[in-house]
Amino acid sequence: MAGLLPGSRAALTARLAPLSKTDGGANHPSLYDLPMPTATPISARDDDLAQVTYNADGLVPAIVQDVATHRILMMAWMTEDTLRKTLATGRTVFWSRSRQEEWAKGETSGDRQWVREAYYDCDGDTLLFVVEQEGKGACHTGEFSCFYRSFGSSALDPAH
Amino acid sequence: MAGLLPGSRAALTARLAPLSKTDGGANHPSLYDLPMPTATPISARDDDLAQVTYNADGLVPAIVQDVATHRILMMAWMTEDTLRKTLATGRTVFWSRSRQEEWAKGETSGDRQWVREAYYDCDGDTLLFVVEQEGKGACHTGEFSCFYRSFGSSALDPAH
């Protein structure tokens, strides 16, 4: 699990939380007492894990959906190892095909994804994770969702 | 586009619609006057289509989401040709990797998907279609969504 990265929500809260204790002793919620996303590991059964199939590169596509807005955030790839890590840590961990290395989502950006539900499809060849998205969103462009461009829209349309 | 397949909603409506006209002339909506899903072709711009990248097999993964429930229905694959057909006909058309042939979703089952929104992601290597799902659902098992099994759930859990 990540430590407190500069700029992350955790670091921000840790830095600012003491200030909220100096508000004259009033016992009301402070802006800086917002609940933190918490990890909820999933104890997958071996029967379920055995249903998952991997392509010739040992990868399976994983769809990520936001639990609050229901929007599809992104699609990325997992190995059996990163699937197990995702379930065990309660945070999404992918395999980067371009860098050929493990990639804990949000490890550097702070835009972590906290797993709330995890599914596999009828053929076992696609995964679906419903997550609480931390930070500004899932996309490296700064957009909340990677699917911010639609077919048939004008180039001047506001991003979704 | 499909003709009126036996058992399809279109066939059912075509068969029953005349009966609703014989209800004594009353001018109220009949059960059999339910609105039919209609095709809404999308005129994709060449700029958008050019953003889509295909894997070594000429395929791109396509996520399908239900417009009403926001649930992920399925994930399947498209060629450039089936992507263009999907946009032009307003119904999802995929490429079956197992059968190595084009596959107009619902052509035989009647469980057609009527495209309402179509997106591509930041890298252009994944598509997202928001659809009106006709019939009983998207999955060949009879489930509404292909993602009906979750990790960590009991085998006795009701399907989602």
Q: How far is A43 from chain B (nearest CA, A)?
A: 5
Q: How far is A5 from chain B (nearest CA, A)?
A: 26
pLDDT of residue A77 exceeding 60: yes
Kindly list the residues from chain B whose CB atom is less than 8 angstroms away from the CB atom of residue A143: 122
User: Could you give all domains of chain B from N- to C-terminal order, each with its CATH number?
Assistant: 1-34 (no CATH), 35-133 (3.10.20.810)
Closest B-chain CA to A147: B121
Out of B42, B44, B72, the one facing A63 most closely (by C-beta) is B72
B25-57 CB burial, b ≥16 within 10 A, e <16: eeeeeeeeeeeebeeeebebeeebeebbeeeee
pLDDT of residue B20 exceeding 80: no
Residue-averaged pLDDT of chain B: 82
Q: B120 near B112, Cβ under 8 Å?
A: no
ipTM above 0.90, yes or no: no
pLDDT of residue A24 exceeding 90: no
Mutation site, B89, B121, B131, B139, interface A, largest A CB count within 10 A: B121
Out of B70, B141, B151, the one facing A44 most closely (by C-beta) is B151
Out of A43, A128, A141, the one facing B152 most closely (by C-beta) is A43
Kindly list the residues from chain A whose CB atom is less than 8 angstroms away from the CB atom of residue B48: 149-153
Q: What distance in Å separates the CA atoms of residue A54 and residue A125, rounded to the nearest whole number?
A: 7
pLDDT for B59 equals 98
pTM: 0.77
Q: What distance in Å separates the CA atoms of residue A51 and residue A45, rounded to the nearest whole number?
A: 10
A33 vs B66, higher pLDDT: B66
Cβ contact B122–A140 (<8 Å) = yes
Q: Report in angstroms the alpha-carbon separations of A61 from A50, A78, B106.
A: 16, 6, 24
pLDDT digits (tens, 9 = 90+) for B88-108: 999 999 999 999 999 999 998
Q: Give the mean model confidence (pLDDT) for residues B126-140.
A: 96
Out of B118, B126, B140, the one facing A150 most closely (by C-beta) is B118
Is residue A38 very low, low, confident or very high in pLDDT (cuts 50, 70, 90)? confident
Q: How far is A67 from chain B (nearest CA, A)?
A: 11
